[in-house]
A and B are shown apart, each in its own frame.
Chain A
Amino acid sequence: MVSPFYNILKLHLAQAEFALEKAKNNTYSDKRKEEYQDKLSLLFCEIKKSVANDDTISEAEIYDQYKRHIDFIFKSLEFLDSSTLNQIPYEIVECLDYAMKDWLTSGNEYVIVTSLINNVGGFSFDPTLAYSETIYNEIKTKYSIEFNCRLVQINLPRALVRDYLSSVVLYHELGHFIDMKFKFTESLTREILDNVTGINTIDTVEVDRLLYYFPYLTQFRGINTQLSTTNQYFWATANHLGEFFCDLFASQYISDSSNFYLQYLTEDNRNYTGSHPSTNFRVNVVNDFLNKIDNILVNRINKAIASINGMALEIRSEEVLMDDFFNLLPANVANLKQLHGLFNTGWKIWLNEQSRLSKSLNDQYTAPVRLHNVINNLIEKSIANFITQLRWEKAKPKE
């Protein structure tokens, strides 16, 4: 008699087969997603074949050998299903894709998929299918199936799906994904803690400068014992470094666009929590980076990045002139740096030039919702024009 767990495994397979069948109706704008879905079907067939010949398998073996792979099919379908042609906020995804490619320069291809969620604060990245190669290596070894790309999911609030001002926070969220891939700040956490505890000695002035940003670590200064990863202060430091990194990462592309917005969202919280540093520290670090003022955190983060992948935080955006926007025309974007720079232009107008924009509209649209709509449309059209032009340049026959 077969075990109940074997029958539940067959139930899981039946559910996966149904989900894959349903997904056949999906239409994608990106051929790579279609290919990915085909590989899922192939994987499913291999699992099904293997399970059919294995009815004496134990419960533990079901978990170790099959369940994880069926879960992988479901998670992939979840990402693909919400990323069909009619739902994608194509323009912002393109901008993030260019930023991601700056950092993931070799190895596998990463494809951004999107999901719209009913939470107005719900901007986030879900890197479940991209943070590690382990599952892909396992599938390749076990079934000889190789996936051509990795899916990275962006979650966007349904209510703000085409809001190009608040979308700047997605650059910060992209930073979390990049940090998770390279473990910049987790590695740096260990080094900084070893500096503070005295296991790895550095200049005392430098320790003072570090403790300014991590005041709760003062109690561990010079104790000469390593702080374990199970210690809550290890994770507080790692979380804070992660947030500092993501703010800096975003500011490479969007400059100081999110500073005021962050202050507003956090109600300018001047206290740290276990997960986030104080807002004023975050804003100050970004401003130091943008103004090229010597800052120990920027230096240490850059040193860690250089040790790990040879890169550095640098300004990767250029200012876009506002004139076109005041003439109610999409901006003429000359290069990728200016593409990212569009967001900062939008923010500058929103923060400082509303009356000028209003005048351009013959004062017909003084209501915030109308101005918001105009800025959003101008940013969106500017991005779309640039991308179309770039694709045309690539596609046109060489003379």
Chain B
Amino acid sequence: MYHSHSYQDEAFGVFVSFLRNVINGDQKYAELILPIITDAHELATGEKTYFTINRDNYTIITFLVESSKDYFQTLNTGNIIKSDYQRILEVVSSQRELVFA
């Protein structure tokens, strides 16, 4: 039995809720999201590979880069602002809808 699809869905659900919490001002969640966004940036720029990005958040990281590689290449991970979180939430929401369309 291969469970990955349902667990991936759950992982995305959690990531989206983290993003919403940060956008609503709960900064505790920013520190949970930052490693994911940083790995997405480093995968997009080639500093990391599919074999070296974080294993826990692998599915989300690869999805973000596949959906919006140009954006993550140029993202300044040292200074992520509210509009970045909103943009990432948009990427995840719209692309996930496409996947399930």
In the bound complex, do residue B2 and residue A275 qualify as a contact, i.e. CB atoms below 8 Å apart? yes
Q: A187 contacts which of B17, B31, B58, B99 (Cβ < 8 Å)?
A: B58
> Cβ of B15: which chain A residues have Cβ within 8 Å of it?
134
Q: Which residues from A are CB-within-8-Å of B31?
A: 141
Taking the complex as formed, is A233 at the interface, i.e. its CB lies under 8 A from any CB of chain B? no
When C-beta atoms are compared, the residue in chain A nearest to B98 turns out to be: A230
A190–B32 CB distance below 8 A: no
> Least Cβ distance of B63 to chain A in Å?
7
Known: A183-B58, A187-B50. 12 other contacts (CB 8 A): A60-B20, A65-B17, A68-B17, A132-B7, A132-B11, A132-B56, A134-B32, A134-B56, A138-B29, A176-B1, A180-B4, A229-B62
Q: How large is the interface on A (under 10, 10 to 19, 20 to 34, 35 or more residues)?
A: 35 or more
Measured in the bound complex, the distance between the Cα atoms of B7 and A74 in whole Å is 17
Residue on B nearest A181 in the bound complex, by CB: B55
Q: Residue on A with the closest CB to B60?
A: A134
Indicate if the CB atoms of B3 and A127 lie closer than 8 Å. Answer: yes
Q: How close is B30's CB to chain A, nearest CB, in angstroms? A: 10
Residues of B within 8 A of A133 (CB): 56
The interface of chain A, by Cβ under 8 A from chain B, is 60-61, 63-65, 68, 124, 126-128, 131-135, 137-138, 141-142, 173, 176, 180-183, 186-187, 190-191, 228-230, 238-239, 242-243, 275, 304, 307-308
Is B66 engaged at the interface, CB distance under 8 Å to the other chain? Answer: yes
Q: Which of B28, B52, B56 is within 8 Å of A142, CB to CB?
A: B28
Number of B positions contacting A (CB below 8 A): 32
Q: How far is the CB of A172 from chain B (nearest CB, A)?
A: 10
Collect the chain B residues with CB atoms within 8 Å of residue A176's CB: 1-3
Contact B50 A134 (CB under 8 A): no
* B7-39 CB contacts (< 8 Å) to partner A: 7, 10-11, 14-15, 17-18, 20-21, 24, 28-29, 31-32
Q: How far is the CA of A142 from the CA of B92 in the complex (A)?
A: 24
- Assess the A308–B51 pair: CB atoms within 8 A: yes
Within the complex, the shortest CB–CB distance from A233 to chain B, in Å, comes to 15
Provide the residues of chain A in CB contact with B77, threshold 8 Å: none
**When chains A and B are docked, how far (Å) is the Cα of A68 from the Cα of B56?**
18
Find chain A residues with CB under 8 A from B4 CB. 180, 186, 238, 242
Asked if B73 lies at the interface with its beta carbon under 8 angstroms from chain A, I say no
- Residue of B2, B28, B56, B59 touching A242 (CB-CB under 8 A): B2
Chain A residues near B45 (CB, 8 Å)? none
A333 and B66 alpha carbons, distance in the complex (Å): 51
Q: State in angstroms the CA–CA spacing of A64 and B29 once bound together.
A: 11
Contact partners of A181 in chain B: CB under 8 A: 55
The verdict on A124 contacting B7 (CB below 8 Å), with A65-B21, A135-B14, A190-B62 known, is no
